[in-house]
Amino acid sequence: MARGRADDPDHGVELLWRAGDREPRQGLSLPRIVRAAVELADDEGLAGLSMRKVADRLGFTTMSLYRHVPGRGQLVDLMLDEVLGEHPQAPETGGWRARLEAVARHAWEIRKRHPWLAEVRGSRHVPGPNAVAHYDYMLSTLAGTALRPSEVIAVVGMVGRFVDAEALVLVETRREERRSGVSEEEWWGSRDSLYERLDRYPTLSHLWTAGGWDHPEDSFDFGLRRLLDGVEVLVRQRDEIRDEMCAECGGPLEPAPSGRPRVYCSRACQQRAYRRRRNG
Amino acid sequence: MARGRADDPDHGVELLWRAGDREPRQGLSLPRIVRAAVELADDEGLAGLSMRKVADRLGFTTMSLYRHVPGRGQLVDLMLDEVLGEHPQAPETGGWRARLEAVARHAWEIRKRHPWLAEVRGSRHVPGPNAVAHYDYMLSTLAGTALRPSEVIAVVGMVGRFVDAEALVLVETRREERRSGVSEEEWWGSRDSLYERLDRYPTLSHLWTAGGWDHPEDSFDFGLRRLLDGVEVLVRQRDEIRDEMCAECGGPLEPAPSGRPRVYCSRACQQRAYRRRRNG
DNA sequence: CTTTGCTGTTTATGCCGTACACATAGTAGT
DNA sequence: ACTACTATGTGTACGGCATAAACAGCAAAG
């Protein structure tokens, strides 16, 4: 096995989704390689992850890895699913907002433990079972709202990108601090030759003297709150619309004589929805 | 010149902020290097930007570049400011929301022209004059609101990261499509071996059959709207608070007998604010 | 006329991913 | 029991990357 060329995605799917491989008592094995790679990336970041170093860590030659993994790219895919498997989503209760916030904070925690997660780039990473489980759970937080399917997907995508963007700045500052031995604050504090030239920028100067940089907001908390507020605006909007129209055909909804809120405009629509739910 | 080592940030400041260098009629020069590098990155992305290729494009040897630029990192800093200089911020009118949206869309356009902008990583890029001008303008859009200084800064940071995150997925898909000759849609459409395994994920399946992926939201437009909605919630909240307290000392505000909204609680506060505005 | 500094070149070091040919060992088939 | 095949690990090599260090030519300054 592992004979597929590095650019055969289907082989990657196979590697990701086959479960419970027996691990040989000695020698290399895919899970061992992946775990070593995760450790390495935790220590040195994704840029510091090289096939050579992974092999060294395991006490084998570089090329031995290629007997088990098609290449570096696929190794990263496998690492992704590995760490998501270590942090299963704990089902939360509450409204959509509480659950979505919990899911975002969970992703944030995972990225603090494995900072390289946010550094993974590329649009064609085959998701493994754990990644899909996470994604499905994120989607489920909004499934109960009146958001349209495409909107649910868009919101989840946005939240994911938000967490990654925040994690990315975090890991970058951390790494530069570790590499140079100079803290971010110190480094920027030493840029006098830069600050000398900033007088001519009015708003910047004003916010500076007003102390805007002295007690900055927590970037993640602040951003997450704004983001959820923005989603909430949309959810409320959709809820209002839902209250006025048929959930199946979108037609107008006459108020029920009983005063109880109606969902479908006719018995026909109600049954169509029921059948759709059974089949799909 | 250009004798500073690659890890001397002050030398980078010097390079970025000195204006109007005379360009020699022939031979290398910093502006020519930067322009060639921008062209290259436009074509091949930031990962495709190498000192070798820049030098080739100019018809010089690799090492000749190092006579003018300390290293690749500083070159990227210079490229950043170069392209921001090509797209000056057009002053917009309107409320904070219209202006902030315009500024975000402007940044989005720049990133579509120079996709590598979003790929620039690292927390210690010295900003050049054009970068600072852009930043100052972004800050100014919110200066008229009741947001606290730290909140203005946080919002601007969030918007910037949002645009970069969206630009990043765009450039990544584009590049993979160009590299492989297979469109994103085709590629994912060919992953049958993956889709076979997704039945067990309920929300995912439900949204799939509901057609959530058939007509996806425009990621940038959708996200920007949510984001601005979220900021608006905060602005409104702060405005309410502002209406109830003194803009200078934060103390309670008694309603004026005339009914006209008051801003300061006392003449003393009004004068303090006036003096502060004159000095800062 | 020589010294100095600016500019470009040459060579070399140490990373990286991975293609390819080879060695070895265990196993299935006869 | 002998053979052929397969799985697994190794060694060497190629092309690409950033950049350090030494060197060569040339122009202006002394």
Gap between the Cα atoms of B82 and B114, Å rounded: 11
- pLDDT of A270 > 90? The answer is no
**What six digits make up the tokens of A44?**
């040195």
Gap between the Cα atoms of A207 and B138, Å rounded: 12
Chain B residues inside the 8 Å CB shell of A211 = 149-150
In contact, B104 and B152? CB cutoff 8 Å? no
In contact, B126 and B77? CB cutoff 8 Å? yes
**CA–C1' span, A40 to C13, in Å?**
25
Question: Would you call A194 helix, strand, or coil by DSSP?
Answer: helix
Residue of A133, A157, A280 with shortest CB distance to B206? A280
- pLDDT of A73 > 70? The answer is yes
Fill in the amino acid letter for B279. Answer: N
State the average pLDDT over residues B83-92. Answer: 91
Chain B residues inside the 8 Å CB shell of A170 = none
In contact, B156 and A217? CB cutoff 8 Å? no
How many Cβ atoms sit within 10 Å of the Cβ of residue A3?
Answer: 8
pLDDT tens-digit readout, B209-231 = 999 999 999 999 999 999 999 99
Query: Kindly report the CA angle at A271 between A267 and A272, in degrees rounded to 5?
Result: 115
- pLDDT of A136 > 70? The answer is yes
In contact, B225 and A231? CB cutoff 8 Å? no
- pLDDT of A1 > 90? The answer is no
- pLDDT of B153 > 80? The answer is yes
- β-partners of residue B252 are B245
> What's the confidence (pLDDT) of residue A98?
97
pLDDT tens-digit readout, A181-192 = 899 999 999 999
**HEC string of B69-111?**
CCCHHHHHHHHHHHHHHHCCCCCCCCCHHHHHHHHHHHHHHHH
Give the distance from residue B97's alpha carbon to the nearest chain A alpha carbon, in angstroms.
14
CATH topology of domain A96-189+214-242: Tetracycline Repressor; domain 2 (1.10.357)
* Nearest residue for D9, CA–C1': A64
Q: Which of residues 87-126 of B touch A (CB under 8 A)?
A: 121-124, 126
Q: Where in chain B is the domain with CATH 1.10.10.60?
A: 9-86
Q: Considering Cα of A212, then A217, then A222, then A223, what sign does the dihedral take?
A: positive
Q: Considering Cα of B38, then B40, then B42, then B46, what sign does the dihedral take?
A: negative
Chain-centre distance for alpha carbon B163: 6
In contact, A68 and A30? CB cutoff 8 Å? yes
Instruction: State which H helix or E strand residue B171 sits in.
Output: helix B149-180
In contact, B211 and A151? CB cutoff 8 Å? no
Gap between the Cα atoms of A161 and A154, Å rounded: 11
**What six digits make up the tokens of A108?**
């944030």
pLDDT tens-digit readout, B161-195 = 999 999 999 999 999 999 888 999 999 999 999 99
**CA–C1' span, A56 to C12, in Å?**
26
Q: How confident is the model at residue A264 (pLDDT cuts 50, 70, 90)?
A: confident
Gap between the Cα atoms of A148 and A156, Å rounded: 12
State the average pLDDT over residues A3-8. Answer: 58
State the average pLDDT over residues B85-113. Answer: 95
Chain A residues inside the 8 Å CB shell of B77 = none
Q: How confident is the model at residue A2 (pLDDT cuts 50, 70, 90)?
A: very low
- pLDDT of B280 > 50? The answer is no
Q: How confident is the model at residue B3 (pLDDT cuts 50, 70, 90)?
A: very low
User: Per DSSP, which regions of B210-276 are E strands?
Assistant: none
Q: Considering Cα of A144, then A147, then A149, then A155, what sign does the dihedral take?
A: negative
- Secondary structure of chain B: what % helix, strand, coil (to 5)? 65, 0, 35
pLDDT tens-digit readout, A21-51 = 667 667 899 999 999 999 999 999 999 999 9
pLDDT tens-digit readout, A213-223 = 999 999 999 99
pLDDT tens-digit readout, A81-109 = 999 999 998 888 999 999 999 999 999 99
Q: Where in chain A is the domain with CATH 1.10.357.10?
A: 96-189+214-242
Which positions in strand C are less than 7 Å from the protein's CB atoms?
6-11, 15-21
CB contact under 8 A, B204 and A136: yes
CATH topology of domain B9-86: Arc Repressor Mutant, subunit A (1.10.10)
Query: Kindly report the CA angle at A172 between A169 and A178, in degrees rounded to 5?
Result: 140
- pLDDT of B259 > 90? The answer is no
Percentage of chain A surpassing pLDDT 70? 88
In contact, B64 and B43? CB cutoff 8 Å? no
**CA–C1' span, A191 to C3, in Å?**
37
pLDDT tens-digit readout, A224-252 = 999 999 999 999 999 877 666 776 776 77
In contact, A263 and A249? CB cutoff 8 Å? no
Does any strand D atom come closer than 7 Å to the Cβ of A271? Answer: no
Of B92, B80, B84, which Cα lies nearest the Cα of B140? Answer: B92
